[in-house]
Amino acid sequence: MRIRERLEKTEARFRELEALMGSPDTPPSKFQALNKELSLIKPIMDLFQKYKGTEHELVGLKHSLAESQGDEAMKSLISDELATLEAGQIDRESKLEELFLRDMQPDAARDVIVEVRAGTGGEEAALFVADLFRMYSMYAGNHGLRVEVIDSNPTGIGGFKEIIFGVTGDRVFSFFKYESGIHRVQRVPKTEASGRIHTSAVTVAVLPEVEEEEVVINTDDLRIDVYRASGAGGQHVNKTESAVRITHMPTGFVVACQDERSQQKNKTKAMRILRAKIFDFQRAKQQAEQAQNRKAQIGSGDRSGKIRTYNYPDNRLTDHRIGLTLHSLNQILDGKLDPVVEALAEDEKVRLLTTL
């Protein structure tokens, strides 16, 4: 089995996690992250134990078969049992590869922060931001995941210049990691009276969420500005300097939050986004040093290229990375994104297996 060595390393990590969860020296603040990682690994390890148990059975049966050459009835029984076990072993091997490549990739267990921003297309792009947010919210709900709006910049007719939201639950990054990039929409805008088809674009960034201790941020590297929030929010918006803008000097990242009425809550949310951005930046830099072909990797987080087109007149979605075309855009926009994600995951699996 091509992933045998990596499964054995994962098994060692599984034993380590079990020991940490049962140790009185493990800080309570670590339990949630450890338990999440343990829950991700356990189904794989349960199946791996069955696989190894069957290996021992097969060795015993082959030994018995060699000793039963003079007994044709016994030889037939053992041969039938061998065929059954070997067929089951092939199925287990395939399932192990599938689970391992899905759940043991970097960040698979992490929650995510998703940023959707209007690009070319003005108000029509802003309306499509709202459409994508609705699609992602319904997709998350279909998988038992929770969505929390962190910050938004709404427009006057139901769109968003940008919306930032967190998604939490099991294997969240695995569900959303293929969404980073430029999403292009072709449709007749609600704001267009002549009925001409326009092309607009939005950008999506999917950032793995990290714990405070994973990214060390020096407070001396931060410039924090407070100001009055703008947009929806009633009279409170114009009275209190609750909005927060944080600039991280070393990287130049600027993060702003204004959705909460509390300045402290906005600051906390802004720091969540900033940590995710710095972590993503550091990871990308590391990957770029390790492999020059990172931009060609689906799910790597690269956001520089067009990944998908949503064509409303033809009810068509095309994912340009794998040449996938589906004529079920209405259903996909209603959160039924699984056929797209599953096709991308299968393509990634094939490519990863060729590197083992």
Q: Are residues 125 and 80 in the same domain?
A: no
What lies within 8 Å, CB to CB, of 280 at 6+ separation is 207, 208, 301
DSSP state letter for 223: E
DSSP strand pairing (181-187 vs 306-311):
parallel
Picking from 75, 103, 131, the residue at the C-terminal end of a domain is 103
Distance, CA of 253 to chain centre: 22
* pLDDT, tens digit (0-9, with 9 covering 90-100), for 174-205: 899 999 999 999 999 876 766 788 999 999 99
**pLDDT computed for residue 246 by the predictor:** 96
Q: Are residues 283 and 270 in the same domain?
A: yes
Q: Are residues 67 and 18 in the same domain?
A: yes
For residue 102, CA distances in Å to 97, 199, 342 come to: 8, 34, 11
Q: Find, among 345, 29, 1, 24, the residue nearest to 176 by Cα.
A: 345
Residue 149 sits in a domain whose CATH number is 3.30.70.1660
Picking from 289, 314, 346, the residue at the C-terminal end of a domain is 289
Q: Are residues 312 and 261 in the same domain?
A: no
* Each residue's pLDDT expressed in tens, for the chain with a length of 356 residues: 678 888 999 999 999 999 999 999 988 878 888 888 888 899 999 999 999 999 999 999 999 988 887 788 888 999 999 999 999 999 999 899 888 887 777 788 889 999 999 998 889 999 999 999 999 999 999 999 999 999 999 998 899 999 999 999 988 998 999 999 999 999 998 767 667 889 999 999 999 998 888 888 999 999 999 988 775 544 444 457 889 999 999 999 999 999 888 899 999 999 999 999 999 998 888 777 665 544 444 444 444 579 999 999 999 999 999 999 999 999 999 999 999 999 999 898 888 877 76
**pLDDT computed for residue 290 by the predictor:** 60
Q: Find, among 253, 243, 309, the residue nearest to 281 by Cα.
A: 253
Q: Are residues 200 and 318 in the same domain?
A: yes
Q: Are residues 284 and 326 in the same domain?
A: no
Could you please report the per-residue DSSP string of 139-173? Answer: HHHHTT-EEEEEEEEE-TTS-EEEEEEEEESSSHH
The neighbouring-strand residues paired with 243 are 227
Phi/psi region, residue 209 (left: phi>0; alpha: psi -120 to 50; beta: rest), is: beta
Q: How is residue 172 written in tokens? A: 């969240």
Task: Tell me how far apart the alpha carbons of residues 34 and 16 are, in angstroms, rounded to a whole number.
Answer: 10
Q: What are phi and psi of 318, to 5 degrees?
A: -125, 125
Task: Tell me how far apart the alpha carbons of residues 149 and 165 are, in angstroms, rounded to a whole number.
Answer: 4
Residue 264 sits in a domain whose CATH number is 3.30.160.20
Q: Are residues 179 and 313 in the same domain?
A: yes
Own/partner contacts of 260-267, CB < 8 Å, gap of 24 or more, are 261/233, 261/236, 263/226, 266/242, 267/224
Q: Are residues 85 and 133 in the same domain?
A: no
**pLDDT computed for residue 33 by the predictor:** 80
**pLDDT computed for residue 29 by the predictor:** 78
Residue 20: count other Cβ atoms within 10 Å of its Cβ: 16
Number of domains in the chain: 3
Q: Are residues 94 and 123 in the same domain?
A: no
Q: Are residues 196 and 332 in the same domain?
A: yes
Q: Are residues 134 and 192 in the same domain?
A: yes
Task: Tell me how far apart the alpha carbons of residues 350 and 83 are, in angstroms, rounded to a whole number.
Answer: 27
Task: Please give the residue range of the domain that contains residue 169.
Answer: 112-211+298-355
**pLDDT computed for residue 239 by the predictor:** 58
**pLDDT computed for residue 97 by the predictor:** 86
Picking from 80, 103, 126, the residue at the C-terminal end of a domain is 103
Sheet holding 222-227, edge to edge: 222-227, 243-248, 253-257
**pLDDT computed for residue 353 by the predictor:** 78
Q: Are residues 85 and 158 in the same domain?
A: no
